[in-house]
Amino acid sequence: MSSPKKLETASNTVELRLRVRLWRNKGDRVALVPTMGALHEGHLALVRTAKAKAERVVVSIFVNPAQFAPHEDFGRYPRDMAKDRAMLEQQGEADLIYAPDAREMYPRDFATRVAVEGPAIGLESDFRPHFFSGVATVVTKLFIQCAPHFATFGEKDYQQLLVVKRLVKDLDLPLEIIGVPTIREPDGLALSSRNAYLNAEQRNIAAQLNRVLRATTERAKAGTSIPQAESEAAAALLTAGFDRVDYVALRDAETLAPVNALEKPARVLAAARIGAIRLIDNMNV
């Protein structure tokens, strides 16, 4: 086992740009892994993919208030910088932590918002109307601050991945977005920082989300109509113990437009709640 690599932290844009400029001047490519901390194996997979693309990897850790609604879990979202740092040092592939504070990201009189339509319409937006604008704004800022060649995002947040790709193209940001497959527990549960909220009973229910999505893709491929497959999946989630199903939807994998048949690549996406805990998952059909 190699000894853990000591990681430096940049806490503002000036420090970040200084480091990135030195790397770029040497010809090193730079990849950014934007996170909200509470790191798990899913994040480490993003770092690993980043390191395979670029000589230098910056992991940003910022719990972004702009993407939480007032009633959501911004206050209780897990934060443990010492543990996050230890995980990254143990992995040894990140080169810098960028951990700006909220005043650095949203100074007094901050008044600008990046809003995306297209892939941001529907699904998550129907239940978290401010979410993608909060994500789009902070991600645009991070890209401009860091000026990376690449950034990695998990397919776990599949709609977010498409929204980020869209805004990068639309704003001509000179970087490539790389989607990274979802990392799962042995029983199929997608890794998520919010899984920490689940008690043992809820954890068992949560595992059914992925199973139901897998069954839904099989049924759709076997010829069940798409509306039928969607409503059967929602019913199955409620039977499995979920308290509420925000959506189960089979969509075009590139645009997220509704589809009538499985002609082009499709994706099934779902969001469901156990008490106040909201879980999402998705997969290729």
Cβ neighbours for 15, distance < 8 A, ≥ 6 positions apart: none
d(CA 143, CA 173): 8
Choosing from 7, 86, 114, 215, the residue that interacts with a second copy (CB under 8 A) is 114
Binding a second copy (rule: CB under 8 A), the pick from 37, 42, 119, 179 is 119
C-beta closer to a second copy: residue 114 or 215? 114
Contact between 60 and a second copy by CB under 8 A: the answer reads: no
Distance in angstroms (rounded) separating the CA atoms of residues 179 and 270: 18
CA distance 90 to 5: 7
Question: What's the CA gap between 249 and 270, in Å, rounded?
Answer: 6
> Could you say whether residue 204 binds a second copy (CB under 8 A)?
no
* Closer by beta carbon to a second copy, 17 or else 244: 17
33 touches 47 (CB < 8 A): yes
State which of residues 118, 227, 258, 275 lies at the interface with a second copy (CB under 8 A): 118
Residue number with CB closer to a second copy (70 or 174): 174
Across the beta sheet with 8-10, what order do the strands follow?
A: 8-10, 96-98, 56-61, 30-35, 150-154, 176-180
Q: Which is nearer to a second copy, 218 or 254 (CB)?
A: 254
Residues composing the chain: 285
At its nearest, how many Å lie between a second copy and the CB of residue 105?
Answer: 9
Residue 149 catalytic?
no
Per-residue x/- mask for a second copy, residues 236 to 265, rule CB under 8 A?
-------------------x----------
Q: Which of 75, 174, 186, 223 binds a second copy (CB under 8 A)?
A: 174
Bridge-based pairing of strands 56-61 and 176-180 is unpaired
- Contact 152/183 with Cβ under 8 angstroms? no
The only residue of 32, 94, 167, 220 in contact with a second copy, by rule CB under 8 A: 167
What dihedral angle (degrees, nearest 10) is formed by the CA atoms of 110, 114, 120, 124?
-10
Distance of CA 209 to the CA centre of its chain: 17
Residue 113 makes contact with a second copy by CB under 8 A = yes
Name which position in 4, 7, 9, 17 contacts a second copy (CB under 8 A): 17
The residue among 76 and 169 lying less far from a second copy, judged by its C-beta, is 169
| 141 is a site residue for a second copy (CB under 8 A) | yes
Active site (catalytic) residues: 43
Contact residues toward a second copy (CB under 8 A) are 13, 17, 107, 109-120, 136, 140-141, 144-145, 166-167, 169-174, 255
